[in-house]
Each structure stands twice: as C-alpha cells, then as structure tokens.
Structure 1
Amino acid sequence: MPFRVAIIGGYGNFGGYVARQLAADRAIELVICGRNLAKAQKFAAGLQAANPAHAARVDIADPPAVMLGEIAPDLVINMVGPYQGQGYGVAKAAIAVGAHYCDIADARAFVCGIGELDSVAREKGVTVLSGASSVPALTAAYCDAALEDMTELRRVEYGISGAEQANRGAGTVAAVLSYVGERFTRLQAGRMQEEIGWRGAIPVDYPDLGRRWFATGDVPDLELFQSRYPGLQDHRFLAGHEIAPLHFGLWVMGALRRVRLIPNLSRFADLLVSLSKPFNVLSRGRSGFHMVIEGVDARGAPVIRRHWIIARSGHGPNIPVIPPILIARKLARGEQLAPGARPCLDVISLDEYRAAFAGLDIECIDE
C-alpha cells in the first residue's frame, strides 16, 4: 500500500511544487488539502500522479483532527503560513491520528517551541519536524559540513535575496514583515544582544547577480545555533530584495515601525504584495543565497568557507521546500526517523539537499 501524504495548502505556490515533485513517486499517494475543496480537486486531477491523487477540505483555522482522521495520512505536510502566531493545532492533529508531521516554518518561536510536543509524539511513535526549509535545515547542513575541516565555528553569516517574480503569497510576505522594525536577539561578541529587524543597508556582491542589498532578519537559527555550535561568537541572518527600491522602501517602513509610528507590518501583507507587483517587470527571476562560515582547524588556524547558491529562471522558491520532499521520500521507503518533536536538524545532509537541485536552474559555488 502506498505511503499516504496529506499536503495542507497543497495547491498553493509552495505546496504545489511539493505535490508535483512527489506525484510521480509510486511509493506515495497524495491527498491535496486546503480550505477550497474545488481548488484541491482540480489540482489533484491535474497531477497525473503515479497513484491517483485525492482531495480534501482541511482548514487549519478549524480543529483539523476529525478531518485528518478521515484522510488517515501517514505524513502531514503543513505548507500554510505565516507560522508567526500560528498554534500547533495541525501538528497535534497529525500526532493524534498517528501520522508524522513536518512544516516549512521560519518563525522563531514556532520552530524553537515545537519541542513541547515531544513527549506525546514519542508516545505515538511519530516524527514531528518544524522548520524543514532553508532555515534551519539548509543552513545547519552547511554548518555541519564545515565541521569536516573545522573543529569549531566562530562566526556565521548568511542571507537570502529573493526574486520579485517569485510569486510570493501574502503568507510568505507576512512572515518577513512580522520582524521588520521589531526587536529580537542574536549572538554578538559571544553573547545574545538586541537586534532590530530590517536594520542596515548591507551590500553583498554575488557571482553573476551583481550587488544585492540586505538588512537584518530574524530566524529560528539565531536561537538554535548557539547551543548547537558551542564556539560560535557571532551569528547574523540577512534578508533582501532583488529590486533595490523595494528593499529601501521596506527599510523606511521599518524605521517608522521601530519608533512605533505604524503598527506591525504583517497586517499590511496583502496591500504590500499588490503594491509590489508593478516592480515585477524589473525582475530577472534570479534569487541568491550566500553564507560565510569562519572557524578554526585542529591546529587553531583560521578557516573561512564561502558559499553561494544562484537560482535562475524563477527557480529560487523551490529551494525552501526541498526538505518536505526528501522527508516524504525517506519515510515512504521505510527509513526510520527518530520519533519525537524537534526542529528539522540532522535529518537532511548538505549533499542530499544539493542533489535535489538536479533539474532546476540552480548553481552552487563554494570558495
């Protein structure tokens, strides 16, 4: 019997890519879930899946346990953001019906707090993984790989610059806006210190892409990596736009939010998505990721690694949704993942992640 995977938000931008990648797998049977049953049915019918795909209405705003019980999934993938302020109702429902669970959350409190479900997940013998995305799954994979020739990490900095033609939904935009002008903490000079979201105008010169502008961002890694890499002294995450006017426009709004002249920007996600669409004509559909890892080797000598991911042809949004695809395939083939609830670390290696770029217009550069 095929491994049944329920994708909540399965006909959306991110969920749709996951569904299309899993559809051809004969070991997997898909159930496309969402608030709009007609959309789910239409999308499922168009998948031409190896095993006939099904559709179901699942609204995360409602108690989903009964609905998931009727679906009887082996794995639930929650693709519905933003996760900021979202409770663990979907994960609890998955556990209740004996299903594994993963999501692509980038919300710091959501990912770091998933451990509260650990004991009940262990009792049910299921795996619950939060943050199965670029952060912290990919970023931790890069750091873990660096430890092959470093004995200790000292400084880590990385950033994501998305293309404007990425078809971002309001949920994705709201996730970023939630920390613009807001205070959070990150590791600086060996201790956690206050930072402000979208502060700074930091230029980074990319291979092929040229100069991109960045500002400070908040991600789960900033809390998780301090204990994971004990020698770490400085840790910073950056975010930016492909189109510079949009980046600096958001910087101005962040400054207004910092002094509390405007409310949290996440409530304006729909409006800002609409206002940004005219800028899509300036986009070249190219996204970038960069990472700098500094540490020391066994002799105490400094070591620096620099990494770039260049995504062309609008393929950048595929990068953050690779972990759910790999997790589903692992479980469908009988690979045992340790039961319990935790952030998505130690599940996907860097080699596995980058191998999944095959067939995409994505280039990895290591220095």
Structure 2
Amino acid sequence: MMLRVAIIGGYGNFGGYVARALAPDPGIALVICGRDLRKASTFADGLNAANPAIGRVVDIGGDPATMLGDIGPDLVINMVGPYHTQSYAVAEAAIAAGADYCDIADAREFVCGIGALDEAAKTAGVTVLAGASSVPALTAAFLDEAAKAMQVRHVYYGISGAEQANRGAGTVAAVTSYVGQRFTRLKDGAMRPVTGWSGLHAVRYPELGRRWFAHGNVPDLGLFPDRYPTLRSHAFYAGHEINVLHFGTWISGKLVRIGLLPRLDRYAGLLVRFAALFNWLGKGRSGFHMVIEGEGTDGTPMTRRHWIIARQGHGPIIPCIPVILIARMMAEGRVFAPGARPCLDIITLDAYRAEFAGLDITAIDE
C-alpha cells in the first residue's frame, strides 16, 4: 500500500531535503505543501519522484485541518519552524485527518508538552512524534547506547553550526529565542536556573580546531532527567562557526538579560541578513560533540566522547534524518504505538549514523 506523505514546508531548505530524500522511494507518494501553490507545484514537478509528486496549499496560520482533510495524507511531516511560537494546530489537524504526524521541533516547551495530544491521538489511532531531530532523537540515541554499559552521571554536548548552512529566519528565531532568557537545567542533582548564551567556553574539535559555545535550551533538558534517573548534571551548548557572530550573540544576551535589548527572535529576518555579511569568514563546516561520564557495573569511572564533523554545508541535513527514517519505516509497514510523545526510542544510533553514508560527514568515537 502506498504511503501518502504530506510535507508542510516541503519546498523550503529543510523540507526540500526531506522531499528529495523520500522521492525515490517506490512506497511513498509525496504531497509538497506550503503557502504558495506555484512554488509547491514547481518543486514537486522537479523531484522526478518514483510516484508523481503534487503540490498543495497548506498554510499553518490558516485552517490546516480543512487543508489536510482535503489532501487525505497517511503521514504529515511538519517542517515549518520556528516551533516555539506555534500551537499544536498542525498536529491536531493531522489527528483530525486520521494521519500520523512528526516534526523536527527543537523547542523545549513544544516537544515536552506534546503529550497534551496523547488522548486524542490514541482515540484516532495515530502516532504523533515531536522532536524527530538532532535533539532529542540523536542525543537520546547516544545516551541510550552509553546507558547499556554505564550508569550515566554527567553529560555535556553542543552544536556549532556553519554560517553558510542556508539558515532561514525560522532557524535563527529558534536559536535566538533563548538568548538572554532564563531556563532550567540539571546541575548537581537538581534543576537550576541558567541564562541562555551564558557560560562562554571553547571546545577543541578534531579537524575544526577551537569552537566557542554557550548555554542553549533544548527539549533534552526537560526530558532526560526523568529518562536517565542516574543523571546528576546535564547541559546543552550552542555556538557559531564564526567567532565574531558568537561573541556578538553573547554580548547581546547580556544586554537582553538586563533589559537593554528586547528578545532577539523578533528580529530574526534582520539577523539572517546581518549574519550573511560574514559568510566569507566561514568554511561551511559544522560540529557536534558529546561527553558522557559515569561508572561501569564494577564502579570503574567511564567516559565516552563523540564527535560529528559535517562539511560542505551538510550539517543541516542531520536534523532531517529522523523524519526521513520514520517515513521510510512506515512505508515498509512499520506501525508505531498510537499516542503523542517526544521522538524517543524510535531511531537507533546505528540507523541514524548509517544515513551519513554519501554525505560529507564523519563520526568519531573516543
């Protein structure tokens, strides 16, 4: 049976990659959705998909329930950010249409709160998965593997994005939404407040050299303390490839915190244009690092270090991988338990990393 997949934002930077990755699958029929029918149809026609792709209008700010009802999808993939300003209207529309749903949300409240739709999803017999992205899907996969060999006590990790990575206003709004804002993270066994983009420090990467980082807010910070009961400290960090942008954001965060600047996410479009002026300083290379500390079954201290180096602007492909794998699994007949929940226990680390083949991405384990 053909899986009819509606990709909302399907002709954008992230959605376009997902569409191109799924187009050759003979078990999938794509519906490219967005606010502009001409763009959606033109993109769909250019896919040369195994099954003819079509374009349709779906405006998440309008009436997505009616629009999706007219399409009749089996799976809805929401690729339209930023998610921190969205309601669950798209997921609710998918439920009303009797379709499964997933997204690449990295907004903490959005992903952690998706359980509010659990009863409705179970009644409709559909699966709703939020956060099918680098965080928390990939980060949890790393920790799940570590937890097989140790009691995890401390985990620290970060993402340093390349500046030429076709970042749109939605992506920039998501990152800047927590700059200078307060949120909590696990420290010494208790949830404690921290300010976004504080905690300035450098990490030396293989190949990339020194990259600068500061505190970021992601769904993991709310999900992992319960998921890994032995965890004592947990932090996520974000950073820019280009130092001047990183330090500029750090200074801006301080000004936001003391009230001299408003929230930065309202200026996302302007910040995208400003950051583009510095693209010539970058090399299109992104990095991810994770340090996991704990004890083995005999009490011996253990440390695992993981690195991911992405070149040629391939870093933004990494958060797209979970939704691609979910669609393929469903096309092959995989059925996930009905209900609404964060995307955990769905994508294994081996499956995730197998998707790096054919990309200029290197994974290193120490």
Counterparts of 1:358 and 1:222 in 2: how far apart (Å)? 30
Counterpart amino acid of residue 332 in structure 2? R
Q: Which digits, 9 at most, give the CA deviation of each residue in 1:45-103, with x for residues without a partner?
A: 10000000011000000121111011100000000000012000000000011100000
Counterparts of 1:13 and 1:200 in 2: how far apart (Å)? 31
Counterpart amino acid of residue 18 in structure 1? V
Give the C-alpha shift of residue 336 in structure 1. Answer: 1.4
Per the alignment, residue 59 of structure 2 pairs with 59
Counterparts of 1:238 and 1:77 in 2: how far apart (Å)? 27
Counterpart amino acid of residue 221 in structure 1? D
* Mapping for residues 156-167 of structure 1, pairs under 5 Å: 156-167=155-166
The alignment's C-alpha RMSD in Å is 0.6
Counterparts of 1:36 and 1:336 in 2: how far apart (Å)? 32
SS state of the match for residue 19, structure 1? helix
Counterpart amino acid of residue 246 in structure 1? L
Counterpart amino acid of residue 217 in structure 2? D
Per the alignment, residue 50 of structure 2 pairs with 50
SS state of the match for residue 49, structure 1? coil
Per the alignment, residue 116 of structure 1 pairs with 116
Per the alignment, residue 16 of structure 1 pairs with 16
SS state of the match for residue 327, structure 1? helix
Per the alignment, residue 245 of structure 2 pairs with 246
Give the C-alpha shift of residue 293 in structure 1. Answer: 0.5
- Identity rate of aligned residues, in percent? 68
Q: Which digits, 9 at most, give the CA deviation of each residue in 1:176-223, with x for residues without a partner?
A: 000000000000010000000001221000000000000000000001
Give the C-alpha shift of residue 262 in structure 1. Answer: 1.3
* Mapping for residues 134-213 of structure 1, pairs under 5 Å: 134-150=134-150, 152-213=151-212
Counterparts of 1:286 and 1:332 in 2: how far apart (Å)? 33
Q: Does 1:218 align with 2:217?
A: yes
Per the alignment, residue 287 of structure 1 pairs with 286
Counterpart amino acid of residue 50 in structure 2? A
Counterparts of 1:105 and 1:359 in 2: how far apart (Å)? 25
SS state of the match for residue 198, structure 1? coil
Aligned length: 366
Counterpart amino acid of residue 340 in structure 1? G
Per the alignment, residue 255 of structure 1 pairs with 254
Per the alignment, residue 335 of structure 1 pairs with 334
Q: Does 1:72 align with 2:72?
A: yes
SS state of the match for residue 81, structure 1? coil
In structure 2, the gaps of 5 or more residues are none
Counterparts of 1:194 and 1:57 in 2: how far apart (Å)? 42
Q: Does 1:278 align with 2:273?
A: no
Q: Which digits, 9 at most, give the CA deviation of each residue in 1:13-42, with x for residues without a partner?
A: 000000000000000000000011111011
Q: Which digits, 9 at most, give the CA deviation of each residue in 1:148-176, with x for residues without a partner?
A: 211x1100100000001101000000000
The alignment's TM-score, normalised by the length of structure 1, stands at: 0.99
Counterparts of 1:15 and 1:203 in 2: how far apart (Å)? 32
| Consecutive aligned runs of 4 or more in structure 1 exceeding 6 Å deviation | none
Counterparts of 2:103 and 2:55 in 1: how far apart (Å)? 19
Per the alignment, residue 3 of structure 1 pairs with 3
Counterparts of 1:174 and 1:85 in 2: how far apart (Å)? 9
SS state of the match for residue 61, structure 2? coil
Counterparts of 2:111 and 2:231 in 1: how far apart (Å)? 21
SS state of the match for residue 213, structure 1? strand
Counterpart amino acid of residue 257 in structure 2? R
Per the alignment, residue 325 of structure 1 pairs with 324
Give the C-alpha shift of residue 296 in structure 1. Answer: 1.0
Q: Which digits, 9 at most, give the CA deviation of each residue in 1:318-349, with x for residues without a partner?
A: 00010000000011111111110000000000
Counterpart amino acid of residue 235 in structure 1? H
Counterparts of 2:177 and 2:194 in 1: how far apart (Å)? 14
Counterpart amino acid of residue 350 in structure 1? L
